[in-house]
Every structure is written in C-alpha cells, then in structure tokens.
Amino acid sequence: MSKKHKKEHAETPAAEEAAPQAAPEAAAEAGAPAEPALEEQLAAAREEAQKNWDLYLRQRADLENFRKRAQRDKEDTARFANEGILREMLPVLDNLERAVEHARQEEASGNGLLQGVEMTVSQFQKALEKFGVKPVQALGQPFDPAVHEAIGQIESADQPANTVVQELQKGYLLNDRLLRPAMVMLAKAPAAGQEEAAGND
C-alpha cells in the first residue's frame, strides 16, 4: 500500500467523527425558530381567551340588568294594573261626597240626596261599562247556574218553577266572562192547600 493511500485511510475516521457533531448543531439551528412560534401562538391563545372571558362577563352583566328591569316592570305592572279603573272611580267618589254634603244641608227634604245618589249610580255604571263590565240579567229569567247563585226559593203561583223572582245582589260579566254571579231567589210551586185556597179566592 502506498503512503498516499495510507494517508487517506487515516483521515477518514476523523471526518466520520466530525459528521455526528455537525448533525446536532444543524438540527438545533433548524429547530431554533420553532420555540418563538409556539410562544406567539400561546400568547395569542391567552389573549383570545381573555377577550372571550371579558365578553362573557359583559353579557352576563347585561343579562342580569335585563332580568332586574323585567322584574321591576312586572312589579310596576302589578301595582298599577288598576290605575285606569281607579281613576274612573274617583269622580264617583266625588259625587257621593257631594251628595252627602247636600243631604246635610237639606235635612228637611230627601229629594236632593236621592237625586245625588241616582246620578252617582248612573255614573258608576257607565264607568264600569267602559271596562267591559255589564250586569247579569236575572229577574224573570230561568235559573242559569252559570251566572246565577240560588240562595233560596219563594212559593209563587205567578211564575214557573225555577224562575228568578228576586235579586238579592246583582251579578256582573267582564267582557262576557263571569265576574260575579247574581244572588237570587227562585220560584217554586205553592203547596197543594195554598193552591186550592188561591183557586177559591
């Protein structure tokens, strides 16, 4: 073997030893940009999460405020639901007070008081009609359990049985729905002895 070949053979291991050392360095240089990229992605993700959290808190606060406003509106509606009808009732009260005052000034005659009360009743009925309140028809009508409440019976030869012959308290409908039933007395056939006595008369 020549000296030249021996020299090349001797240099080959040194080159092979240098190659493994260069490989990690090259890999490190190639991987160096990856760490800053991951950090940037993590920072962006954290920023996005913070934005979402802030948005959630704002929406939650808005929802809570809406719930409180809705509750206040509901309470106000319940408190002032009868405002309209009460406003209509105030003039009725005014007329009643005037009627009482007029009666005190004219104690010798009851005409003034009667006229005042009649005017008040008429005004009261008109005020109720504005809100859909109408009286139930009772006197002379056949008993209707849907709108009449029977309190008792009265013997009567002039009216068929179960006909309303007396109204103790008026009933009212609110927009055709029962508001209060009429308290009534119903006719019933007279006893046999009374019928004979009536026939003899």
Give residue 121's Cα distance to chain centre: 34
Helix (H) or strand (E) run with residue 164 in it: strand 164-169
Condensed to tens digits (0 to 9), the pLDDT of residues 82-108 reads 777 777 777 887 887 787 777 777 765
Q: What pLDDT is recorded for position 148? A: 97
Cβ-contact 99, 120 below 8 angstroms:
yes
Return the CATH fold of 132-201.
Nucleotide Exchange Factor Grpe; Chain A, domain 2 (2.30.22)
Condensed to tens digits (0 to 9), the pLDDT of residues 125-144 reads 888 888 888 999 999 999 99
Strand order in the sheet with 133-135: 133-135, 172-174, 177-180
Digit-by-digit pLDDT tens for the chain (201 residues) are 555 545 555 455 554 554 455 555 554 555 555 677 888 888 899 999 999 999 999 999 999 999 999 998 888 787 777 777 777 777 887 887 787 777 777 765 656 677 878 888 888 888 888 888 899 999 999 999 999 999 999 999 899 999 999 999 999 998 889 989 999 999 999 887 555 555 555
The structural domains of the chain, with segments of one domain joined by +, span: 38-81, 84-131, 132-201
Strand partners, 101: none
Give residue 118's Cα distance to chain centre: 39
The model carries a pTM of: 0.50
DSSP reduced 3-state for 48: helix
Q: Which two tokens stand for residue 139?
A: 């006197």
